[in-house]
Structure 1
Amino acid sequence: MTAAPEIAPDSTTKRAPEPEVDPHGRGKAERYTVFFFVFVPLLALVAAVPFAWGWGLTWTDVIIGAVFYIVSGLGITVGFHRHFTHGSFKAKRPLRIALAIAGSLAIEGSVIKWVADHRRHHKYADAEGDPHSPWRFGDDWRSVAKGLFYAHMAWLFLDEQKTSPKRFAPDLLKDKDIVRVDKWFGPLVGFSLFAPALIGGLVTMSWWGAVTAFFWASLVRVALLHHVTWSINSICHTIGEENFEVRDRSRNVWWLAIPSFGESWHNLHHADPTCARHGVLKGQIDISARVIWSFEKLGWATKVRWPNAERLSAKRVSV
Structure 2
Amino acid sequence: MTATPEIATDPAPKRAPEPEVDPEGRGKAERYTVFAFVFIPLLALAAAVPFAWGWGLTGIDIAIGAFFYLVSGLGITVGYHRHFTHGSFKANRGLRIALAVAGSLAIQGSVIKWVADHRRHHKYADAEGDPHSPWRFGDDWRSVAKGLYYAHMAWLYLDEEKTSPKRFTPDLLKDRDIVKVDRMFIPLVAVSLGAPALMGGLLTMSWWGALTAFFWAGLVRVALLHHVTWSINSICHTIGEENFEVRDRSRNVWWLAIPSFGESWHNLHHADPTCARHGVLKGQIDISARVIAVFEKLGWATKVRWPNKERLAAKRVSI
TM-score after normalising by structure 2: 0.85
CA distance in 2, matches of 1:47, 1:312: 43
Structure 1 stretches of at least 4 aligned residues deviating more than 4 Å after TM superposition: 41-47
Classify 1:234/1:42 alpha carbon distance in 2 versus 1 (closer, same or farther; 3 Å).
Answer: farther
> Helix, strand or coil for the counterpart of 2:139?
coil
Larger Cα Rg: Structure 1 or Structure 2? 2
User: What residue is the counterpart of 2:141 in the other structure?
Assistant: 141
- Percent sequence identity is 85
Letter in 2 for 1:139: D
Aligned to 1:191: 191
Distance in structure 2 (CA, Å) of the matches to 1:115 and 1:283: 29
1:88 corresponds to: 88
Counterpart Cα distance in 2 of 1:164 and 1:47: 40
Q: Which runs of 5+ in 2 are unaligned?
A: 1-42
Cα-to-partner distance string for 1:222-276 (whole Å, 9 max, x where unaligned):
0000000000000000000000000000000000000000000000000000000
Contact persistence 2:45–2:220 (CA under 8 A): no
Mapped to 2, the partners of 1:147 and 1:65 lie a distance apart of 31
What amino acid sits opposite 2:217 in the alignment? A
- Measure the CA separation in 1 of the matches of 2:212 and 2:263: 30
Alignment-derived partner of residue 313 in structure 2: 313
Aligned-pair CA distance for 1:203: 0.5
Shift of 1:160: 3.3
CA distance in 2, matches of 1:194, 1:258: 26
Q: Take 2:296 and 2:276, find their aligned partners in 1: how far apart are those partners?
A: 11
Gap regions ≥5 residues in structure 1 = 1-40
* Residue identity in the other structure for 1:111: V
Given that residues 198 and 210 in structure 2 are in contact (C-alpha distance below 8 angstroms), is that contact kept between their aligned partners in structure 1? yes
Partner of 2:25: none
Q: Aligned partners of 2:224, 2:46: CA distance in 1, in Å?
A: 13
Q: How is 1:108-147 mapped onto 2 (pairs within 5 angstroms)?
A: 108-147=108-147
Distance 1:132 1:161 in 2: 12
* 1:274 aligned residue: 274
Give CA deviations for 1:165-214 in whole Å, capped at 9, x if unaligned: 00000000000000000000010000000110011011001110011000
- Count of residues paired in the alignment: 277
1:291 matches 2:291: yes
How far did residue 44 of structure 1 move?
Answer: 6.3
Partner of 2:150: 150
Partner Cα separation in structure 1 for residue 47 and residue 234 of structure 2: 21
Please say if 1:63 is aligned against 2:74: no
CA distance in 1, matches of 2:172, 2:45: 40
Question: How far off its partner does 1:278 sit?
Answer: 0.1
Q: For the structure 1 residues 43 and 154, does the alpha-carbon distance in structure 2 shift closer, same or farther, using more than 3 Å as the test? A: closer
User: How big is the shift at 1:91?
Assistant: 0.2
Deviations 1:87-132 (A, max 9, x none): 0000000000000000000000000000000000000000000000
- Corresponding position of 1:204: 204
- Equivalents in 2 of 1:48, 1:211: separation in Å? 16
2:248 maps to: 248
CA RMSD of aligned residues (A): 1.5
